[in-house]
A and B are shown apart, each in its own frame.
Chain A
């Protein structure tokens, strides 16, 4: 509802940031930089004590954020303030997708979570460990609140399950480029293209590829067959190691997007 039309405007480079790494004020600055850049969608990871699908780089970023006592509630409030501040100048040109462990949603409460996401202006939600059966009815609650539910498809997902996943998602499909956890890899697994093709066969939803995308050439490669590319660990690591983080992110948005470099 929120996110699907954005892909009609072009291929999307989607950065991932861990909310609260190194602190929430900096994350809000990052969002403002992205809002002034060609980036239209950002994935915001909510820190969790046990991020099961993440490799060492993003795990460490979650730990840094948790040391700042960052909570889902505080991130929601930060997003609300960001959208108010940026929205004063007209429509906010950046959509935010939350990526978070399902325990955080369950603990917050399904109904309040959907309501507060909508209230803060969160466009979509991705919970990697939410079962397809959706035992607590998250999708319906998000749909009623006007928030997309994005789901994962991997290279090992059989065709009939791909169909069911697409039918129970909105916004876009997050294609896992490879098995394993998040983190930079030398190249993007060729199975990602086949996975995108399997999605195309059953759904009109845009497909964005993530996991292991760390270089501009990876993004170019993914853009040749998919609607978007998600860059996480490589960006999180670059920002963590950078002295002038704001400048690093600005440069990243200029140089990393093949459409604008």
Chain B
């Protein structure tokens, strides 16, 4: 086995805080990813599936009606909701499953909260004929029964997790435990930029297609006879943070580009019920990496809360922790109520029903765009479509 390593670029965050039982398995993954990360054949393959199967590139859509309604900056939406399966998640599951195939792994495991990543994983497993086991908190299997059915329809086995709080963090722990027990034949497709190194780097690489496309599309859309286009402000929601880092990463070296990550404030960051790890968390270790974490005064991991199940995670990707501490990215938070408003705003102004996760980003845009000049530009990551949330939202608006 090659000893190839991948450099971690966001120290002291990240790392490999894992039991020794997992070390050799993680080393094998790191070596494989180091081998294929810059392999033209791998990328040709990935590009094929992203374009022909998922429908990339996704449009960078100028949201004229929303911009007009808010009366300030011109707003572009990066339409990740138009991907196959309805969200950015598939960018990552396609990347990881191609790696799993090259490593000769036949058994795929994943964790899921609301079921979006579980569906995206079950989808690619169906596509490539691989066994798929999805761990999902028992609470979530009840709340998201339809997604459980979707995964089963795609041929996956959904395992309800009854440990701890029976939610996403426990499903993630259970997936890691499964992996420790099956180190030889199993590949763990993690759903966000979390977990031990190299996952946060690898998932970011697979999601960076969002920002690379947006950068090129923005340059084309804003090309004028009067010189270079003005630098945009980027906005994206942050749960684990994969769509946000995917949009931000290709722009990081341009200091003129402002970036804002939007966390879920749930019922308010002053309450106990929120998911704002960067805004209100403390540094700590969960699921193999060092980052910001919602925890009790005694260092126990707290349950997160958000109306949007995809943001309902007590940790956050370590690269976001790094970008918060060095000040490159500003992190704000949006409440359940504000997200619900934005959900309806985008539906009514643009005819686009956003995922509740993405509605958090839209809500922050609705707050700041009116104060910006018409010459200013924003790019918002519309990470997913809202069909999955319609029944849930109906209960709140009834």
Tell me the A residues contacting B by CB distance below 8 Å: 48-50, 52-53, 55-56, 59, 63, 66, 71-73, 101-104, 106-108, 128-131, 133, 135, 151-154, 156-158, 161, 165, 176, 179-181
Contact = CB atoms under 8 A, between A and B. Distances in A.
B12 interface: yes
A63 B20 contact: no
Contacts of B19: 52-53, 128-129, 152, 176
A125 B176 CA distance: 23
B301 A50 contact: yes
B17 to A, nearest CB: 4
Contacts of A158: 24
A112 to B, nearest CB: 12
Interface stretch (B126-134, B230-238, B292-300): B292-300
Interface stretch (B84-92, B262-270, B278-286, B376-384): B278-286
22 contacts: A49-B300, A50-B173, A50-B286, A52-B18, A52-B177, A53-B21, A53-B180, A71-B298, A103-B285, A103-B293, A106-B283, A107-B298, A133-B15, A152-B21, A153-B20, A154-B24, A156-B23, A176-B20, A179-B21, A179-B181, A180-B181, A181-B181
B183 to A, nearest CB: 5
Contact of B163 (A56, A133, A176): A56
Among B12, B17, B20, which residue has the most Cβ atoms of chain A within 10 A?
B20
B299 A108 contact: yes
B16 interface: yes
Interface residues of B, number: 37
B111 to A, nearest CB: 13
Contacts of A176: 19-21
B285 A106 contact: yes
Contact of B20 (A50, A66, A104, A152): A152
A63 B282 CA distance: 23
B295 A179 contact: no
Interface string B277-321: 000001111111010010100111100000000000000000000
A59 B177 CA distance: 12
Interface string B176-187: 110011110000
Contacts of A180: 21, 177, 180-181
A154 B16 CA distance: 16
Nearest to A105: B299
B385 interface: no
A111 B173 CA distance: 29
Given A52-B176, A101-B285, A129-B288, A107 B299 contact: yes
Contacts of B163: 56, 59, 63
Contact of A50 (B18, B25, B164, B182): B164
Interface of B: 12, 15-21, 23-25, 163-165, 169-170, 173, 176-177, 180-183, 282-288, 290, 293, 295, 298-301
B12 A135 contact: yes
A55 B298 contact: no
Nearest to A162: B20
Contacts of A165: 20
B177 A72 contact: no
Q: Which 7 A-B pairs have the closest CB atoms?
A: A107-B299, A180-B181, A156-B24, A152-B20, A103-B285, A71-B298, A49-B300
Contacts of A107: 282, 284, 295, 298-299
A99 to B, nearest CB: 11
Nearest to B302: A49
Among B170, B173, B182, which residue has the most Cβ atoms of chain A within 10 A?
B173
Contact of A130 (B17, B183, B295): B17
Nearest to A104: B299
A129 B21 contact: no
Contacts of B300: 48-49, 66
A80 B123 CA distance: 55
A228 to B, nearest CB: 17
B362 to A, nearest CB: 32
Contacts of B295: 103, 107
B177 A156 contact: no
Contact of A157 (B12, B24, B298): B24
B285 A72 contact: no
A156 B21 contact: yes
Contacts of B299: 72, 103-104, 106-108
A179 B17 CA distance: 17
B144 to A, nearest CB: 22
A49 B285 contact: no
A131 B14 CA distance: 11
Contacts of B293: 103
Nearest to A151: B20
A131 B298 contact: no
Contacts of B177: 52-53, 55, 180-181
Contacts of A63: 163-164
Nearest to B165: A49
A165 B282 CA distance: 30
A135 B15 contact: yes
A257 B280 CA distance: 50
Contacts of A102: 17, 285
Contacts of B176: 52
Contacts of B283: 106
Given A50-B287, A50-B301, A102-B17, 7 more contacts: A103-B285, A104-B299, A128-B20, A129-B288, A131-B17, A135-B290, A179-B182
